Chain A
Amino acid sequence: MACRTFGERLDDLLEGRLSPADRRAADEHLRSCAGCRELKSLVAEASVPVTPPADLLGAVLARTSGSACGSARTRLCDHIDRLLAPADDDLVRMHLDACGECAGLAARLARLAADLPPLAERDPGPRLVDEVLARTSRRPALPSRRAARFAAVWRRLAHRPRIAWEGAYVGSIIMVVLFGAANAPFADVPGRALVVVRAVQESLPADAARGEVPRIRLAVLSRWNAARALTSNLERRSSAAWDGLKKELGTVWGRFASGKATSGTNRTADTNEADRGDER
């Protein structure tokens, strides 16, 4: 076997893949060739795995891309949340196997992921529900609350002392805007109404108008009598109430006056007694 052929078959020889005939030929060549014996021993030594120096990786990274910790930390949260793609996840895992500092950080992040969600609820104590219910449940429904609020606003406005002046002012402005100005929408309405009344008055037959007068007078009289009956009824009731009130007031006043008189008498008796004591 030539040295070149031996070199080509050296790997197979070392890994035991040669046929018996080839192996015998290779052994014969080795016995006769010192160079190939040296080559075989070198290759055999190199194939034994050797632990690299601890600082080798750091030294290489320092001279090339720099530390990978920063890159790993940007992906660490996603690694904990299992959001990384498989390839990235493997890379982070490899880094964590080699880097104690990042592994510690990853462990703390994993613990935080478990410890933070339970903080979502805190006990506000037993009072909160009662306080909230007191402020909400007894309230009327939303539409009636709105109506009440609206009514309250109007009531507040109406109770202001200036409301009469303001109402008169606004009413006058509205009247002027609607009827008074030259180009107002209803500017000619009063004039037209006057014309219509005059036209009706002229077109109404005098006899028919005369016939209507007693009927109108009768209707007015009956309304007037009903109103008077109502007024006298009210008067009677109010005078009865006033009499009762006067009676009550009189009783109270009588009690007050008699009490005053009694205390005055006592006071006089006491004073007299004191005077007598002084004299003695």
Chain B
Amino acid sequence: MLLDDATLLERCRQGDDLAWEGLVRRFQGRVYSVACHYMRNAEEARDVAQEVFVRIYERLEAFHGDQTFLPWVLRLSRNICIDTLRRQKARPRATEADVDPTAQLASPARTPEEASAARSARDLLYRAMDRMSDADREILMLKEIQGLKVEEIALLLKVPTGTVKSRCNRARLDLAERVRRLDPSYGA
């Protein structure tokens, strides 16, 4: 049975190195995914992911048990990504090719055909999302991909919940339209 996040955190706070390693392993995919969405460059995303975990380690004491850990981690990841992007503002933005769309956590239950279909679907989605506005990509990433609640996103982005809902619906419709343009058979 897997340890729940709260127990894992408590063990980390007590200085258990093994628990800390477990926590990094558990959340590395999430953090790296968020970093890839913002940075759009695999190497930079890895550096940012490292920085996020170092920051988590330093702030373990500051994390209150009444919060949920994942939204806290995602909020921290987003803030660090935005800070990093601000610092490199003068630098030209990397293209989508810098992030390997196949670098997804593999599911061992998949047959080769299913895995191939899933890979091409992911590739299609990444290409479609890459053409969206930053705001729409961000809200899709937070709500539809990372699964944050509307209230959590509203708190994070400092906008009303109604705005989050309407922006998210608009972004989903936009993505569906972009996907149709790239592959008319998608969803048929």
Contact = CB atoms under 8 A, between A and B. Distances in A.
A142 B61 contact: yes
Given A122-B105, A132-B24, A104 B32 contact: no
B158 interface: no
Interface in B32-73: 32-33, 36, 45-46, 49-50, 53-54, 57-58, 61
Interface stretch (B2-10, B80-88, B140-148): B140-148
A110 B176 CA distance: 10
A77 B25 contact: no
A109 B125 contact: no
Interface in B151-174: 168-169, 172-173
B184 to A, nearest CB: 9
A272 to B, nearest CB: 66
A107 B187 CA distance: 5
Interface in A117-131: 117-125, 127-129, 131
Contact of B118 (A73, A78, A118, A125): A118
B130 to A, nearest CB: 13
A116 interface: yes
- The secondary-structure label for the interface of chain B is helix
Contacts of A73: 173
Nearest to A113: B144
Given A127-B46, A132-B53, A122 B32 contact: yes
Nearest to A77: B169
B30 A121 contact: yes
Contacts, number: 126
B188 interface: yes
Given A117-B145, A118-B118, A124 B21 contact: no
Nearest to A133: B21
Contacts of B28: 124, 128-129, 132
The range of chain A's interface size is: 35 or more
A104 B176 CA distance: 10
Contacts of B188: 104, 107
A111 B169 CA distance: 15
Interface in A122-148: 122-125, 127-129, 131-133, 135-137, 139, 141-142
A78 to B, nearest CB: 8
Nearest to A116: B144
A207 interface: no
B119 to A, nearest CB: 11
Contact of A117 (B49, B147, B172): B147
A273 B180 CA distance: 94
A129 B25 CA distance: 7
Contacts of A76: 169, 173
Nearest to B53: A132
B121 interface: yes
Contact of A124 (B17, B29, B125, B179): B29
A78 B140 CA distance: 15
Contact of B33 (A113, A122, A133): A122
The residue in A112, A117, A141 that gathers the most chain B C-beta atoms within 10 A of its C-beta is A112
Given A73-B173, A76-B173, A124-B28, A135 B144 contact: no
A141 B146 CA distance: 32
Contacts of A128: 24, 28, 32, 46, 49-50
B176 A116 contact: no
A120 B35 CA distance: 11
Contact of A112 (B45, B50, B53, B172): B172
A131 B118 CA distance: 30
Given A118-B118, A139-B57, 6 more contacts: A112-B125, A117-B147, A121-B30, A131-B46, A132-B50, A137-B20
Lowest 10 CB-CB distances: which A-B pairs, in order? A121-B29, A108-B187, A124-B32, A111-B187, A107-B187, A108-B176, A136-B57, A77-B169, A122-B33, A132-B53
22 contacts: A76-B173, A78-B169, A104-B180, A104-B188, A108-B176, A108-B187, A109-B187, A111-B186, A112-B125, A115-B122, A116-B144, A121-B30, A123-B32, A123-B103, A123-B105, A124-B49, A128-B49, A129-B25, A132-B54, A135-B53, A136-B54, A137-B21
